[in-house]
Structure 1
Amino acid sequence: MPSGTSAALASAYQVIRRNGAVTPFDASKIAVALTKAFLAVEGSSAAASRRVHDIVADLTGQIVAGLTRRADAGRTFHIEDVQDQVELALMRGEHHKVARAYVLYREDRARERAAASSAVASAAAPTLAMSLPDGTRVPLDLARLEAVVGEAVSGLADVSADTILGETRRNLYDGIGEDELALAPILAARTLIESEPNYAKVSARLLLDKLRCEALSFLVRRSEQATQAEMAVRYAEYFRAYVARGIVEQLIDPELGHFDLERIAAALLPERDLQFDYLGLQTLYDRYFLHARGHRFELPQAFFMRVAMGLALREVDREARAIEFYQLLSSFDFMASTPTLFNAGTLRPQLSSCFLTTVPDDLDGIFKSVKDNALLAKYSGGLGNDWTRVRGLGAHIKGTNGESQGVVPFLKVANDTAIAVNQGGKRKGAVCAYLETWHVDIEKFLDLRKNTGDDRRRTHDMNTANWVPDLFMERVEANGTWTLFSPDETPDLHDLYGTAFKAAYEAYEARAGRGEMQVSRQVRAVDLWRRMLTMLFETGHPWITFKDPCNIRSPQRHVGVVHSSNLCTEITLNTSDEEVAVCNLGSVNLAAHVTAERFDGERLARTVRIAMRMLDNVVDINFYTIPEARRSNLKHRPVGLGIMGFQDALQTLRIAYASEAAVRFADESMETVSFHAISASCDLAAERGRYPSFEGSLWSKGVLPIDSIEDLAQRRGGLDLDRSTTMDWESLRARVTSIGMRNSNTMAIAPTATISNICGVSQSIEPAYQNLFVKSNMSGDFTVVNAALVHDLKARGLWDELMVSDLKYYDGSVGSIDRIPDDLKVLYATAFEIEPSWLIEAAARRQKWIDQAQSLNLYVANPSGRKLDETYRLAWRRGLKTTYYLRSRSATHVEKSTLKGTDGKLNAVSAPVAAAPEAGFGPACSINDPECEACQ
């Protein structure tokens, strides 16, 4: 390591010695220790010395990088943490003999220190002081530390305050700062999560104490503190001060100050602060809570109430509605989408999640679309752009009498715009480009995410998706030919689907056969299909989405065409030059609506009714950055109610994901959501009026989503899908026809990448990724353990350190652990142990109830061309509208070290700029990639 780097680190970081002393961090000491270890094992010949020098330099760099990435707020390491990293680096580098010698050396030294310690055990413990921000030193209040830790473990099984306190004391030193002291027990508790999931709640409660101190110090006076018990009494007083300060700081809409704050504050439920897991609260802390000049001053219940008040601004009895909305949000029964959580109740309430645009084929229109992307992304929207109308490479340009460079150069501009507009630093701008399969640039489009080739024709930060007509899939099935066109010569294809598209397309093919088309090319359909799947596997893009079912089943096909989906492939709304489609999202926590005995349909009905009202309110309250978005949203009023926690619900009900019972549950649960969502929109129409474009819609004709599936089946000549029902759809159909609908669209299942973390449940409709893994997102790295599995293993006497080690070794999978009974292996099978056909079958049964679509990830453990072909053809045959990421295993696995503290970034407060890929996936398909969180 260069001496300058070492010197810089020495001035920036410190090491806590075992006696509590603090010294500057010196990376050269690591290099010296490593060199001695290697030479002791391998000898000191000249050749060995040169080899050792190179190895040591590399290992030292790895160790320093690992330590500094994981450094806490005070930029300090304990000496044991440094030695843990040295041991880990040696093992990772497969220097096993040296590692063994190093481990034995550490054990010998530990015994020596223990012996010396016992000789002076009677000596008085040193008195430690804490440094305040102004430099004042005060005695360190160990009694309060013990009280806070004791409060954090209260009511939780199998957690120990003594264990946390012991590890915390190891990291204390004389002169420790306030922030470091608050952080020390959090770091101590989170290292224990892998062995006991309840420590995730303990860690959250300890972080909550830090947040309380930060908020109260900002609002009341410096160094103000309060325990959870004290805060239960002070929450109402705090809330009034919070609203007033937020208005002064121009972070909260002054209209919130005109609510009856006494009534609102009295409704707060401080005990709900205790229901968070660490990942959920840390995510809120880093990215959602309001802050001024670097200080968070928004506590969790104030956060939920701020969002609720923001959504109730235009209600008649807005206090009553705000309390109703708050109770739903804070219970985790339902969670609004990320833009709503970010911005509700603020001066710029951009609450919508998704925006869909279509890009015209002229220079002014193209660059207006790029500008619109920037404006829409600024306040947290995710974007889906339809680029099909832009003429292809080699097409004639009348104005200059030249030839077009095609769509790719403009996509590059859109890609760079998404990077530049990063939503206020909360997350990167996120956009997905769609192109129809007949576009002459389709093969260039498939290559956009490749890491090789001309970088000027690559879009490394933009998502891409194929917009696939049924006719193309029919040609693939028949092993037929497929003709590519430039849209300036075939402009009507863009707006056609079904039989009309087929007729027009075949007419253009005939013209091309006669030589009447300037730009066209013929390929084998199956060759293009194979290339689409190959690129999907190699780069993760473009995704496969289907044009015809999106349009045939669209309730709004009387007023326009669906030209694309959105960033996360669950939104299917009309777009045009005059209208930018907007969707407002939120998700029901399905796990909160089941018990071990049953699915609670009554509770779900209440949740859906309130949630639909909240989502409808978004349309009127929303801050629109471009007029085309406002025009579209007020005319059609679409919302997208989805679900999350599907896997948790299955496990509570003791249903394996890969089973007919799971497919039936997907069917029945989505039927219940659909019935009540449509009913709630109908009730809102009776109260507030129909949406303006209702007349002529499928709704107005009594065609509900369960009915429109029949239209798709008829046009395809059949559809192999169970279409049975269990609820009183006939009476609901009659109500919709006579009363109308408040919303043109009501349902869409989004990825819920972030809000499911907040609620502590599994994402969306996803199967469990692993039962023990490290989750990476913009808030850092977090150990995640399947608490339900741990509960079951404890009940059978199987949860111990060896089981933790086995789960790490087998990458979170239970299938290869002999001690685990077969029934648990089936119930807790992970995503790559489940055949993707089960995901498709469950999704197909949901899709019949949904008027939009669902973000459906597909997991293939051992991908092959044949497997991918079978999987995606099955998705099309079952009538799915869209698919999302293809997930496949890579060579990266869960860290198999048994060292404590290897749970990722140790900084529990400051989020990094970007996140590492999720363990277990290649770079093209990481789960919870922060750029994919624009929907939720």
Structure 2
Amino acid sequence: MSLSSTFADSDSASIIQLRSDPPAAAQSAPGMQIIRRNGKVTPFDATKISVAMTKAFLAVEGNSAVASRRVHESVEQLTAEVVSALMRRAGDGRTFHIEDVQDQVELALMRSEHHKVARAYVLYREERSRKRAADVAAERTQAAEPVLRVTLADGSRARLDRRRLELIINEACSGLDGVSAAPVLAETTRNLYDGITHDELALAPIMAARTLVEQEPNYAYVSARLLLDKLRGEVLSHVHGVATSASQADMTTRYGEYFPAYVKTGIAAELLDPELARFDLDRIAAALKPERDLKFQFLGLQTLYDRYFLHERGKRIELPQAFFMRVAMGLALREIDREARAIEFYDLLSSFDFMASTPTLFNAGTLRPQLSSCFLTTVSDDLDGIFKSIKDNALLAKYSGGLGNDWTPVRGLGAHIKGTNGESQGIIPFLKVANDTAIAVNQGGKRKGAVCAYLETWHVDIEEFLDLRKNTGDDRRRTHDMNTANWVPDLFMQRVAEDREWTLFSPDEAADLHDLTGKAFAERYAAYEAKAARGELRVFKTVRAADLWRRMLTMLFETGHPWIIFKDPCNLRSPQQHAGVVHSSNLCTEITLNTSHDEVAVCNLGSINLLAHVTADGLNFGKLQRTVKTAVRMLDNVIDINFYTIPEARRSNLRHRPVGLGLMGFQDALHAMRIPIASEAAVTFADSSMEAISYCAIAASSDLAAERGRYPSFDGSLWSKGILPFDSIELLAEARGGVEMDRSATLDWDSLRKKVTTSGMRNSNVMAIAPTATISNICGVAQSIEPSYQNLYVKSNMSGDFTVVNEFLVRDLKALGLWDEVMVSDLKYFDGSVGQIDRVPDDIKALYATAFEVDSAWLIEAASRRQKWIDQAQSLNLYIANPSGKKLDALYRLAWNRGLKTTYYLRSRSATHVEKSTLKGTDGKLNAVSAAPALSHAPIVVPAAAMPDIDGIKACRIDDPDCEACQ
């Protein structure tokens, strides 16, 4: 059956036996309207979506699909998803162009992994589009365009200003390669109708440009510039109190007059700190750079528009450069020449060379400047302590903090309660309460509240803890929204390797294990095992260590949790081991700070855009040094300006003054230097770039110490002894009897070591690599240290759905003459991978290999090189295309052997992806990608049946993770 004939036979009763009543989705969309291609507006009818999808299935599967119950059910479900997506995107409007609906149909088919059907649907749409274009060209006359009117907010109508519409679209396309105003204007015009609302008119060109992003990535900049026009009209009208608009060219002069009015409006609305009015606003306004508004891609600007820009009664009052300056002024409040420092901070932020974390961007310069990203707490073993911790979680999350809770001190199931002479129910019921609290406190809808619970592997409740994220079992003992992490001591890993037994204890009977690490932990643990053997402990349980390890990996594979974090490297390499113990990491596993019953650890984050600091020849050290010096000063200022919601956090932060300088855009930097991520060159660059960041960051903190004084708990720290993060590897190696970490260095560390011991440090910790899920979107680069997820895909977050295209790949394919509609269709079909597209050269396949095509051993090797320079940790996601027990065991054993402190999410492909690779005759790896580094040590033998991959269960079910709580 031909594709065209199948789709064209729209009235044939033999195509499908439709239900007599329309799908429920059709009944759930009251008031929705469709703009037909002839401009006529008609009521929405979901049955037509069902018919179109069924024809698509028929085009691929033939008439046998007619009698297939599966097809009927799939079509009904997909129709409901399309309608639901349209309603979510609708906002206040209810009118869609028919092409919008067809876009959602295509997206639904792709997401449900009906790839062949989706491809048939796409090809048919393209065929019909060409035919319509030919028909229009043949029938076009010189008749005047119809007069269209715009419905204003007061209900009146005014004639559409076509000249301004053309001006704004032309301005948005100016200076960008590969884009043209003509298709944007044509698509916009096609979506207009008489009586269109003002808001719909503002959105029309934005949506028109968005449809072209998959053909040319630069249309993401066009969409952003068109959104800027909408934003300018909204902001300037509200701030100045009169309806107005401005082009980008107008803003060269208008930013200066707008900025003081913005500050006045923000203070009057009780959104801004009145102290901002005491700055020299003329000097500040003169430093604004309106041209930097053009640096945004659509995803970044839409994210700022939806969630970051301050608004009054639903109307934004901030333009992008005012937003960055507000943050900069908020961070410079206590500087001596605060105008000069604010301008310095503004230049760094608005250039995208560095970006502060989301809480800092949300709250700097406001009345409640809670600027810190991460909070780590230890929960006490009593009801007052438990519920105080839950209350603290709520207070800390309210103003955008991400939380890590150490639950190890709380006694386990069956432990004696002296006050009631009863038995403890363990930690699980309390974790359920903490889970629900995180859901309830969602930062005013800006982003989801989030918490991670940590438990040491020797806790008697560990087995139930592993099951918390399962979708089966007693729901009262499940936490479907809370993250969980396994705080694993080295002794456990050694017992697994030796196939020995492991004993679980209740912390009320083995309390000091919580605070011990390394050899001291191992000795005391053995003593408790001896006590248990003599019958001197009330609650304990003995298991085979390899069995527990297998179960840990199984749950990680099934549910994505608990994450695996290594206790001993976090402590033995901590600069602050003289002042306490690291009992957990944070929500995103990059923070490793001490906690206790009277200290809540706080970390203040920001990230360097690595892409902005490389050329084709490598790292620009001079620029990096300047960026880091300013960035560390900004992060240190956060500590003193910060609004603390609980006293334990303030006490800890002022005593230790930790900051976490990280990086993002690592994958982009590799693309710019043309280095495949699965290569020794990439591992070497991870090493050298992190060495440079570490060197500059430590030097900057030491300079601040000379200017402002050392942090109060400096004496006795590793810093004070001349032991830098690089040197602390020896402490871990001594405790383990060796560690497989590279020890090479290229910079003058002896001079820096002398500087630190002489001048001291301003900050107890200076480095941590966070996920940067949101701020990397703002800057338009890849997240953190992540490999490319896909080269073409739709990214979903709280701001909606966005087409993401790898502009580096498009540039290379254009140079080879390979970028065309067929390539776009093939990228969609192959899930954004070029690995299975025959006409793409092998070197391009290697350079643009995606996350699931790269052996995660390469990611671990690169992470190990970074970890030698970092005084905290890094959020490291691992990807595995075809999981098995042996592979997971080898992967996490490698992470431990290479000295990593933490790991983060485990991601795997769904079963259908694996199936598709099998059908193509490949194991999912690219021949062009170099062989992964060998995994050290023989893996523990885990029977295949012990791991659930054969049952079609995959690891964390979100393929593209976004932890937005840290950054």
Same fold (TM > 0.5): yes
The answer to whether structure 1 residue 762 and structure 2 residue 782 are counterparts is yes
Matched, 1:558 2:578: yes
Q: Distance in 2 between matches of 1:101 and 1:628?
A: 59
Aligned partners of 2:349 and 2:532: how far apart in 1?
Answer: 58
2:966 maps to a residue whose letter is C
- The 3-state SS of whatever aligns with 1:467 is strand
Per-residue deviation, residues 401-450 of structure 1 (Å, max 9, x unmatched): 11110110010010000001111111111000000000000000000000
Contact 2:490-2:518 within 8 A present in 1 as well: yes
SS of the residue 2:486 aligns to: strand
Aligned position for 2:965: 934
1:409 counterpart (429, 441, 450): 429
- 8 Å CA contact 1:9, 1:25 repeated in 2: no
Tell me the residue number matched to 2:413. Answer: 393
Q: Match for 1:747 among 763, 767, 778?
A: 767
Matching of residue 77 in structure 1 with residue 96 in structure 2: yes
Is the contact between residue 57 and residue 71 of structure 2 (CA under 8 Å) also seen in structure 1?
yes
Q: 2:893 aligns with which of 833, 848, 873?
A: 873
CA distance in 2, matches of 1:136, 1:682: 64
Alpha-carbon offset, residue 62 of structure 1: 4.3
What is the alpha-carbon distance in structure 2 between the residues aligned to residue 57 and residue 42 of structure 1? 17
Q: Deviations over 1:260-313 (max 9, x none)?
A: 000000000000000111111111111111111111121110010000000000
Deviations 1:854-906 (A, max 9, x none): 11111111111111111111111111111100111114669x9xxxxxxxxxx
The 2-side partners of 1:468 and 1:41 are apart by 51
User: Aligned partners of 2:56 and 2:365: how far apart in 1?
Assistant: 60
Query: Is 2:944 the counterpart of 1:924?
Result: no
Deviations 1:153-204 (A, max 9, x none): 1010110100111111110000111111111111111111111111111111
Instruction: Work out whether residues 359 and 372 of structure 2, in 8 Å CA contact, stay in contact via their aligned partners in 1.
Output: yes
The reply on whether 1:23 has 2:55 as its aligned counterpart is no
Aligned positions, number: 910
Deviation per residue, 1:556-576 (Å, 9 max, x gap): 111100000000000000001
Matches within 5 A, 1:119-198: 121-198=141-218
**1:14 match:** 33
Q: Is 2:517 the counterpart of 1:486?
A: no
Question: Residue 51 of structure 1: CA displacement?
Answer: 11
SS in 2 for 1:706: coil
The answer to whether the aligner puts 1:632 opposite 2:652 as a matched pair is yes
State the secondary structure of the residue aligned to 1:356: strand
> Residue in 1 aligned with 2:700?
680
Instruction: Confirm or deny that 1:618 pairs with 2:638.
Output: yes
Higher relative contact order (CA 8 A, sep 6+): 1
Per the alignment, residue 261 of structure 2 pairs with: 241
The 5 Å alignment of 1:210-289 reads 210-289=230-309
Q: CA deviation at 1:95?
A: 13
1:206 is the counterpart of 2:238: no
Gaps of 5+ in 1: 897-919
User: Residues of 2 paired with 1:262 and 1:119: CA distance?
Assistant: 58
Cα distance between partner residues in 2 of 1:704 and 1:37: 62
Q: Which moved more, 1:739-748 or 1:60-69?
A: 60-69
User: Cα–Cα, structure 1 residues 213 and 396, in superposed 2: closer, same or farther, change >3 Å?
Assistant: same
Distance 2:781 2:77 in 1: 40
Task: Map residues 292-331 of structure 1 onto 2, 5 A cutoff.
Answer: 292-331=312-351
Between the aligned partners of 2:85 and 2:442, the Cα distance in structure 1 is 27
Deviation at 1:793, TM superposition (A): 1.1
CA deviations 1:636-664 (Å, max 9, x no partner) are: 00000001111111111111111111111
Equivalent of 1:496 in 516, 530, 544? 516
Q: 1:888–1:921: 8 Å Cα contact kept in structure 2?
A: no
Following superposition, the deviation at residue 115 of structure 1 comes to 5.4
1:732 is aligned to 752
CA shift digits 1:474-531 (9 cap, x unpaired): 1011111100000000010000001111111000000111111101111111110111
Contact 2:289-2:321 within 8 A present in 1 as well? yes
Q: Distance in 1 between matches of 2:26 and 2:90?
A: 17
Q: Is the 8 A contact 2:25 2:84 kept in 1?
A: no
CA contact (8 A) 2:25 2:79 kept: no
Task: Give 1:373's match in structure 2, choosing from 377, 393, 417.
Answer: 393
Change (3 A) 1:52 1:587: closer
Q: What's the offset of the Cα at 1:746?
A: 0.5
Structure 1 CA distance for aligned equivalents of residues 277 and 402 of structure 2: 31
Contact kept? 2:29, 2:83, Cα under 8 Å: no
Aligned equivalent of 1:352, options 372, 380, 391: 372
Do the aligned partners of 2:106 and 2:121 also contact (CA within 8 Å) in 1? no
Pick one of 41, 46, 61 that aligns with 2:80.
61
Residue of structure 2 in register with 1:915 after alignment: none
- Please point out which of 637, 646, 671 is paired with 2:666: 646
One-letter identity of the residue aligned with 2:257: E
Which residue identity does 1:77 align to in structure 2?
F
- Structure 1 pair 150–467 and aligned structure 2 pair: CA distance change class (3 A): same
1:431 to 443, 451, 459: 451
- Shift in CA distance, 652/113, structure 1 to aligned 2, threshold 3 Å: closer
Which amino acid in 1 is paired with 2:603?
C
TM-score computed with the length of structure 1 as normaliser: 0.92
What SS class does the counterpart of residue 843 from structure 1 fall into? Answer: helix
Alpha carbons of structure 1 residues 84 and 597: separation in structure 2 relative to 1, 3 Å: closer
Task: Please give the secondary structure, in 1, of the residue aligned with 2:835.
Answer: coil
Residues 769-821 of structure 1: CA deviation (Å, up to 9, x unaligned): 11111111111111111111111111111111111112112111121111111
- Report the identity percentage: 74
* SS of structure 2 residue aligned to 1:15: strand
d(CA) in 1 for partners of 2:576, 2:657: 11
> Which is further off, 93-102 or 208-217?
93-102
Residue in 2 that maps onto 1:841:
861
Alignment partner of 1:12: what SS?
Answer: coil
Structure 2 CA distance for partners of 1:107 and 1:702, relative to 1, 3 Å: closer
Contact kept in structure 1, 2:23 and 2:46, CA below 8 Å: no
CA deviation map 1:813-837 (0-9, x unaligned): 1211111111111111111111111
Mean Cα deviation higher: 575-584 or 711-720: 711-720
Letter in 1 for 2:281: L
Q: Does 1:805 align with 2:825?
A: yes
Could you tell me whether the CA contact under 8 Å between 1:182 and 1:210 is conserved in 2? Answer: yes
* Alpha-carbon distance in 2 for matches of 1:105, 1:324: 51
Residue 68 of structure 1 aligns to a residue whose secondary structure is helix
TM-score (norm 2): 0.89
Give the superposition deviation at 1:60. Answer: 4.7
Change (3 A) 1:165 1:892: farther
Q: In angstroms, what is the RMSD of aligned CA positions?
A: 3.0
Displacement of 1:17 in angstroms is: 2.9
Please say if residues 229 and 246 of structure 2, whose CA atoms lie closer than 8 Å, have aligned partners that are also in contact.
Answer: yes
Q: Distance in 2 between matches of 1:468 and 1:375?
A: 29
Change (3 A) 1:41 1:619: closer
Letter of the structure 2 residue corresponding to residue 344 of structure 1: A
Q: 2:728 aligns with which of 708, 718, 721?
A: 708
Give 1:328's aligned amino acid. Answer: L
Q: Match of 1:902?
A: none
Q: Secondary structure at the match of 1:554?
A: coil
What SS class does the counterpart of residue 707 from structure 1 fall into?
Answer: coil
> Post-superposition shift, 1:19?
3.4
- 1:506-905 equivalence runs, <5 A: 506-891=526-911
Unaligned residue ranges in structure 2 (runs of 5+): 1-18, 917-951
Distance 1:808 1:674 in 2: 40
Following the alignment from structure 2 to structure 1, what is the Cα–Cα distance between the partners of residues 965 and 115? 43
